Chain A
Amino acid sequence: MKAKDLGEKVEECLEILFKLEKDRERVKMTELAEKLRFPYSSMTVLLQKLSNMGLIDYEPYKGVKLTDKGKELAIKVIRRHRLSERFLTDILGFDWSEAHEHACKLEHVITNKIEEKLDEKLGKPTVCPHGNPIPTANGKIIFENDIPLSELQPAEEATITRILDENSNLLRRLVAMGILPGVKVTVKEKSPLGGALVLKIGDYEVALGHDVASKICVKTDVPPHRRRHRRRRGSRRIQ
């Protein structure tokens, strides 16, 4: 089955799933329905359809996960969306804030051929007008190589990339204390007993529990291969 045969909703669903999955293992059906603005009652039908096509792995009560095939297709849709945005702003002269809405429509009618020509015409752009990366033609997307803050060792410096916020209350608390993406932090002290740590942010210090620290993703300036030997055994990288 080719991408162009798929309904608009299917593509949109994959796109949203892809974005949501960045922050968690499985996506809940209610959340997906809300983001899609699709009636909850019809969700099962839609998900069943996607599941039959082999695009998602759907387990009732647990949630949805994209399969490799689904991921590939989602990346394709994102590529077309972001290319469309560039086209709208660079060539048609749309305003940034308007571009997104129109691109949402455009992305679904673009064929492989149009996509190719568009890419060429625009000079093979790497980022959309809002600064998000455009996946390459063969489906590569540049991920940020971030690791949980809880993996850092004392004296390591890093920049926060994102906060995995299943609980928006935690996000609020962290943001209020100046812990948010883009902020540079240094691990001042770390307890070997269970991983609570003291973080230095500018002129002040904040103590974080291990569970909180594992929900904050950071990027270190040290390349990953050089960091590895400094990390403890059993550490895990998140995508």
Chain B
Amino acid sequence: MMFCHERSKKAKNIGNAVKILLAGNPNTGKSVFFNRITGIGVIISNYPGTTVELLKGKTRFNGKEIVIIDLPGTYSLGAGSMDERVARAAILEEESAIVINIVDASNLERNLYLTLQLLELQTPIVVALNMIDEARKRGIEIDHEKLSELLGVPVIPTVATRGEGIKEVVETALKVIDGKITIRPMKVQYGRDIEAIIQELEKVIKERLKTIPRNIRARTLAILLLEGDPEIVEEIKNIDSKVVEAAKRLAEKVEELHGEPASLRIAKERYGVAHSIAKAVTTRYKRKTLFRERLDTLTTNVYTGFPIMISVWVALFALLLYGGSFLEELIVFGWESYVAPIIDKGLFYIVPNEFLYHVISRGLILGLEAGLAVVVPYVTLFYIALAILEDTGYLTRMAYLMDNIMHKMGLHGRAIIPLIAGYGCNVPAVMGTRVLETRRERVLAAFLITLVPCSARTVVILGLIGQYIGLLAVLVMYTLNLAIIAVSGFFLNRIIKGETTGLVMELPPYRIPHPIPVLKKTWIRFREFVYIAFPLLIFGSLFLSALEYSGFLRPVASLMSPVVVGILGLPALTGITLFFGILRKEMTLEMLIVLFGTTDFLAIMNIHQMIVFTIVVTLYFPCIATFAVLGKELGWKTAILIAISTIILAIIIGGITNLILTYFWM
């Protein structure tokens, strides 16, 4: 009885859960803010029909269930990008919601632009004036009471990294919802002639439209239509094209009057309002140049920036190489000596059929080991390092420095971030291409990512080239690989059709990363990887071990031998290992050991064959997990095309290397 009562109460609470949306510019400490309120149980979901991710978290506050949704960070709320579209849609959709607008105090004017747009949408908002400590360091003091008075909504100063003010913001938001605080949002007033035009269009809207979709006010709709917001224009066109025509006519009038497009004029005036508010509440003091500002100059100047960037890369790979392999050995040792035998024994008793037992035992143990041995040490370590670099703001500087080079490949600087992530693992790197604006750029970047030697391929490079030739040769391999990526990018840029955008990216001031968001980001990426890659690893392992035990592998090898032996000059049996490599690249090494029954690779291949083998393993077919992600993100046609191209590329480069080594070397 009691139990029943409890449950129904709980269910009711969830149904009435208060929804709080977090909106704000990128780099305003929004994610730190989000992490401060929510616990570990954060759900990432794609907004329906898009690849834009929304983070959702739950928390209890003063006995109230609260759902917090972290909207993508945007500079405005127009439908310029998918992120903005989603942010606006979410705000308009969640009727009972309240928006917490996170505003960077050291950058008030530009941040207020979004605030004004939020006010125009008539959503109840509470402003969190974040990073006031940083603003103070930069000699900026903001009168938050006056700001609150001017905007007509509560403004609470916060320092999210230290958790200051966050409780108060949530409390205030709840009070606004309960009606304990009434807000009187200011009206964003435009110039006389623009106001006249807005009113004219408002009249047309009121006359022609009975209801406005998503409960947008007539005035707001008029402004959005005058701005030519593509999404809204499309929506209204389907209801009554006359309204859109009227809007177009009036927008042209604005253009004639002011000599600039209506959208620009309105934006300008909105900035004007933001400027006067910011000016009224800001006091500036003289201050010294901060160390981080000097660091900023050092890292963006070409002469100092490139050496710094290269040092950061070297340090990152050294960390992976030594830290990663140390962890890997530890994990593999633990797995093989303690866990694997137990699973094996268990399966032996459970599975009655001997054939099935071999397949399942081998597939399951190898599949899990692959995940543990590669993913856990290398990928996790890499993600932590990447998250730290990201949160300091350094990655944006790197993107700026690399912009010119990336341009030659039809990409812009921002694409460097997923490309670097590819060195850890291609799977999340391909997902990371979402930051790029057009499909063309995403396809290009994803293709190049599949050529980046991930940690699994690094294992092969180190195991063969590093072991038998030397570390210098490893370096040569990586350089060669970079050259192949550059050349491929150069050609792909000419082949793939579509739109290219340029680099427009804020360089946030350097900040000391906060451990909680770093770990959370790593955890979220890691989890995403595990969901996609682990099932594939295990399923693929099962499939391959079935092939192996049923004796189908030899025919496969002889089928591949014209290429493997004829073109690449490798021993015929290595074809089978390449087949296994589709599953996970470092398995090619393990299969060599199994098939040839020796750990001395020199007995299997000579140095020259090792070089060819490594090149082929690095380039051919992105592993099955990457392939799955490519298909999911870009469509199966593109994924298949990319996979086939990489196989051809591997055969060509491998073949050429074979020829060169045969005829010109010794």
Interface residue ranges, A against B (CB under 8 Å): 96-97, 100-101, 130-132, 162-163, 165, 167-182, 188-189, 191-196, 198, 201-212
Interface residue ranges, B against A (CB under 8 Å): 74-76, 78, 80-81, 84, 106-107, 109-110, 113, 138, 140, 193, 196-197, 228, 253, 256-261, 263-264, 267-268, 271, 296-297, 300-302, 396, 399-401, 403-405, 407, 412-413, 499, 501-508
Which residues does chain B contribute within 8 Å of A202, judged by CB atoms? 107, 109-110
Q: Could you list some 19 contacts between A and B, CB below 8 A?
A: A97-B253, A169-B80, A172-B78, A172-B263, A175-B264, A176-B74, A176-B76, A177-B506, A178-B75, A191-B401, A191-B404, A203-B140, A206-B505, A206-B507, A207-B507, A209-B403, A209-B413, A210-B407, A212-B502
Bound Cα distance A207, B505 (Å): 5
Which residues does chain B contribute within 8 Å of A188, judged by CB atoms? 297, 300
Contact B505 A181 (CB under 8 A): no
Bound Cα distance A204, B193 (Å): 32
Say which residue of B80, B271, B407 sits within 8 Å of A194 (CB atoms).
Answer: B407
Chain A interface secondary structure, helix, strand, loop or mixed?
mixed
Which residues does chain A contribute within 8 Å of B506, judged by CB atoms? 177, 204-207
Which residues does chain B contribute within 8 Å of A192, judged by CB atoms? 302
Which residues does chain B contribute within 8 Å of A211, judged by CB atoms? 407, 502
Q: State the Cβ distance, B84 to closest chain A Cβ, in Å.
A: 8
Bound Cα distance A189, B413 (Å): 15
Q: A198-B507, A207-B413 are in contact. List 11 more A-B contacts (CB 8 A).
A: A96-B193, A96-B257, A132-B259, A173-B81, A191-B401, A194-B403, A194-B407, A196-B403, A202-B109, A206-B505, A207-B505
Q: State the Cβ distance, B335 to closest chain A Cβ, in Å.
A: 45
Q: State the Cβ distance, B185 to closest chain A Cβ, in Å.
A: 21
Most buried by A among B263, B268, B503, B508: B503
Bound Cα distance A100, B507 (Å): 43
Q: Which residue of B lies closest to A19 (CB)?
A: B259
Say which residue of B75, B113, B297, B396 sits within 8 Å of A207 (CB atoms).
Answer: B396
Contact A207 B503 (CB under 8 A): yes
Which residues does chain B contribute within 8 Å of A165, judged by CB atoms? 261
Which residues does chain B contribute within 8 Å of A163, judged by CB atoms? 264
What 3 A-B pairs are tightest by C-beta distance, nearest first?
A: A194-B404, A209-B503, A212-B502
Q: Given A100-B257, A212-B502, decide whether A198 and B407 contact each other with a Cβ distance below 8 A.
A: no
Q: State the Cβ distance, A175 to closest chain B Cβ, in Å.
A: 5
Contact B504 A174 (CB under 8 A): yes
Contact B110 A204 (CB under 8 A): yes
Contact A193 B404 (CB under 8 A): yes
Contact B197 A97 (CB under 8 A): yes
Contact B413 A170 (CB under 8 A): no
Q: Given A178-B113, A188-B300, A191-B302, decide whether A206 and B403 contact each other with a Cβ distance below 8 A.
A: no
Contact B75 A177 (CB under 8 A): yes
Q: Which residue of B lies closest to A172 (CB)?
A: B80
Most buried by B among A179, A191, A195: A191
Most buried by A among B258, B413, B501: B501
Which residues does chain B contribute within 8 Å of A97, judged by CB atoms? 193, 196-197, 253, 257
Which residues does chain A contribute within 8 Å of B407, judged by CB atoms? 194, 209-211
Which residues does chain A contribute within 8 Å of B297, judged by CB atoms? 188-189
Bound Cα distance A173, B80 (Å): 7
Which residues does chain A contribute within 8 Å of B78, judged by CB atoms? 172, 176
Q: Given A132-B259, A180-B267, decide whether A207 and B399 contact each other with a Cβ distance below 8 A.
A: yes
Contact A181 B504 (CB under 8 A): no
Bound Cα distance A201, B396 (Å): 17
Q: State the Cβ distance, B292 to closest chain A Cβ, in Å.
A: 12
Contact B110 A178 (CB under 8 A): yes
Bound Cα distance A209, B503 (Å): 5
Q: Given A130-B257, A191-B302, decide whether A207 and B268 contact each other with a Cβ distance below 8 A.
A: no
Which residues does chain A contribute within 8 Å of B412, judged by CB atoms? 209
Contact A196 B257 (CB under 8 A): no
Most buried by A among B253, B259, B504: B504
Which residues does chain B contribute within 8 Å of A173, judged by CB atoms? 80-81, 504
Q: Given A181-B268, A189-B300, decide whether A208 and B503 contact each other with a Cβ distance below 8 A.
A: yes
Which residues does chain A contribute within 8 Å of B401, judged by CB atoms? 191
Bound Cα distance A202, B274 (Å): 13
Which residues does chain A contribute within 8 Å of B501, judged by CB atoms? 169-170
Which residues does chain B contribute within 8 Å of A100, judged by CB atoms? 253, 256-257
Contact A198 B400 (CB under 8 A): yes
Which residues does chain B contribute within 8 Å of A101, judged by CB atoms? 253
Most buried by B among A178, A182, A210: A178
Say which residue of A170, A176, A195, A212 sits within 8 Å of B404 (CB atoms).
Answer: A195
Contact B264 A209 (CB under 8 A): no
Bound Cα distance A178, B505 (Å): 12
Contact B502 A170 (CB under 8 A): yes
Bound Cα distance A194, B400 (Å): 11
Bound Cα distance A187, B84 (Å): 28
Bound Cα distance A177, B274 (Å): 13
Which residues does chain A contribute within 8 Å of B257, judged by CB atoms? 96-97, 100, 130
